[in-house]
């Protein structure tokens, strides 16, 4: 794997899901075990993030 590809792969954490909505976050977390979480872009404040927990 080229060095640049490794850096790109490490640049996006697995817990960050970007611009998904609340319903999408709930759907994803329903498939996960209790205590799981994800961070997503806030729907109402573009410069903020939302933390979703199960």
* Element of type H or E holding 4: helix 3-11
Q: Could you state, in order of their start, the residue ranges of all structural domains in the chain?
A: 14-53
Q: How many residues does the chain have?
A: 54
The tokens of 44 are what? 């109402």
DSSP lists the bridge partners of residue 8 as none
d(CA 38, CA 15): 5
d(CA 52, CA 26): 8
pLDDT digits (tens, 9 = 90+) for 4-53: 555 556 677 889 999 999 999 999 999 999 999 999 999 999 899 999 99
Report the top-level CATH class of 14-53: alpha beta
pLDDT digits (tens, 9 = 90+) for 1-14: 555 555 556 677 88
pTM attached to this predicted model: 0.74
């Amino acid at each position: 794997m080229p060095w640049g590809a490794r850096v790109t792969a490490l640049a996006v954490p697995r817990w960050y899901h970007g611009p998904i909505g609340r319903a999408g976050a709930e759907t994803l977390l329903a498939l996960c075990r209790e205590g799981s979480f994800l961070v997503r872009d806030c729907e109402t404040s573009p410069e903020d993030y939302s933390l979703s927990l199960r």
